[in-house]
Amino acid sequence: MAPAKVYGPAMSTNVMRILVCLEEVGAEYEVVPVDMSTGEHKRPPHISRNPFGQVPAFEDGDLTLFESRAISKYILRKHGSDLLRESNLSESAMVDVWLEVESSHFDGAMSPIIFQCFIVPMFMGGATDMGVVNESLEKLKKALEVYEAQLSKSKYLAGDFISLADISHFPTVYYLLASAHASVLEAYPRVKAWIDDVMQRPSVKKVTEALKMPSA
């Protein structure tokens, strides 16, 4: 079977999300870089794979997908992973709840921080807007309060089992830890412990090892 293809820069959070799923299931894959600095993602052929001109895009045989969370689920289902708990109605519902929380609350607060602290200085030759960063950190803290409460009830977000909901946080957590603002986590000991646990997973370590992170 031909390896699946992932189109996009390996350091993109949304690409990292699917790489960790591929590692979790032990699938063979190839990362095909997309040079965003030259607008490659906005032109053919990439735009025929992701009509919104974003990364990642994903090919598995004759199936082309985009949107990293959709791709992640496809990968996990195809390889029979139990990270979605789809054989159990209430467990799969809890996985979905916390995937939505990740997407709207966690990612919503983290994206401006990643953009300001990494993309702007590293790729756009600009200066970090600390006003935006501080505002986002406040939103992040509100979310972390909810996470701290949830993680005092169960070992992982959806229950006492690890799921895609936990792993889906890995890319943005990775950047938070690499940023100057990682100390925001100190006030949330259960969140910190949960992060340590997720970051220790072999799949996560494999993906992070492949990245070379300049200091923030």
Partner 1 sequence: MTPVKVFGPAQSTNVARVLLCLEEVGAEYEVVNVDFTVMEHKSPEHLKRNPFGQIPAFQDGDLYLFESRAIGKYILRKYKTREADLLREGNLREAAMVDVWTEVETHQYNSAISPIVYECIINPAKRGIPTNQKVVDESAEKLKKVLEVYEARLSQSTYLAGDFVSFADLNHFPYTFYFMGTPYASLFDSYPHVKAWWERLMARPSVKKLAAVMAPQGA
Interface pick for partner 1 out of 10, 25, 96, 111 (rule CB under 8 A): 96
* Separation CA 188–CA 141 (nearest Å): 9
Q: Tell me, what DSSP letter sits at residue 151? A: T
Q: How far apart are CA 111 and CA 64, in angstroms?
A: 26
Within 10 Å of residue 198's Cβ, how many Cβ atoms? Answer: 21
Using CB under 8 A as the binding rule, the residues of this chain from 159 to 198 that contact partner 1 are none
67 interacts with partner 1 by CB under 8 A:
yes
HSE, CB side, 13 Å, CA atoms: give it for residue 133. 18
Contact 7, 56 (CB under 8 A): yes
- Segment interacting with partner 1 (CB under 8 A) among 20-28, 85-93, 166-174, 190-198: 85-93
Query: Least separation, in Å, of the C-beta of 150 and partner 1?
Result: 7
Distance CA(166)–CA(99), nearest Å, equals 8
Candidates 42, 43, 77, 205; binder of partner 1 (CB under 8 A) is 77
Which structure tokens are listed for 22?
């591929």
Using the contact rule CB under 8 A, the part of the chain among 35-43, 58-66, 130-138, 203-211 near partner 1 is 58-66
Q: Does 90 bind partner 1 (CB under 8 A)?
A: yes
Residue 148 lies near partner 1 (rule: CB under 8 A):
no
* Closest to 146 in 3D by CA, of 193, 101, 94: 101
Q: Which of 74/216 has CB closer to partner 1?
A: 74
Three-state DSSP class for residue 57 = strand
Applying CB under 8 A, does 73 fall inside the site for partner 1? Answer: yes
Name the residues that contact partner 1, by CB under 8 A: 51-52, 63, 65-67, 69-71, 73-74, 77-78, 86, 89-90, 92-94, 96-97, 99-101, 103-105, 146, 149-150
